[in-house]
Amino acid sequence: MPLIFITGGVRSGKSHFAERTAIQHYQAQLGPTKRLIYLASGIALDREMAKRIDRHQADRQAQPVQWLTVEAPYDMAEVLATLQDGDVVLWDCVTTWLTNAFYEGFDSGTPCIDQPGCLENKLLNIKQAILSLLNKDVTFLVVSNELFDEPPYDSDEVELYRRTLGQWHQWFVAIAQEAYEMNYGIVKRWK
């Protein structure tokens, strides 16, 4: 399984680059079972996020290929287990999913971040699911936001989020065949 990791600042062009790259891999593949899958982690909790989701959906609908969109704001490991040989999969994005993971359960009064071992278990499950893809013929593109140019925050929770995301980025790059960073619409290949 080729894993391609793409990071960059907000609105840097990384999603567009990832979509183009996924389409190229999809069109280059042979075989009747191939699918082009968009794993969407976003939840429209506010007006800005709803606009971003609508814009991403419109962008995909305007493309010359048919995407299968799978909404996966929480149970990403379960979704990854359903992937089949020949699939080309774009997950957009890690930072949104991680935020969802931190606060899953908030509505019932106990977010995951406040439950001992909850976040660690979620991360372990998803890493195991990704590693299991190494034995399948799946092209897996992962998009994430770069949040490390900001000064440290006074919030322990925000710093835990950034530390967790940074460790996860390192893990992704370590197992990726390709790693890219987007800045101002310019692509830099690191690996």
Catalytic center residues = 56
Burial of residue 136 (CB within 10 Å: 0-12, 13-18, 19+) is middle
Tokens of 175: 């197992």
Side chain identity at residue 129, one-letter code: A
Counting Cα atoms < 13 Å in the Cβ hemisphere of 154 gives: 0
Query: Taking a C-beta distance cutoff of 8 angstroms, is the pair 105, 111 a contact?
Result: yes
Q: Is 40 left (phi over 0), alpha (psi -120 to 50) or beta?
A: beta
How far, in Å, CA of 191 to CA of 186, rounded? 16
DSSP string, 30-92: -STT--EEEEE-----SHHHHHHHHHHHHHHHTSSS--EEEE-SS-HHHHHTT--TT-EEEEE
Give residue for tokens 């660690």.
120
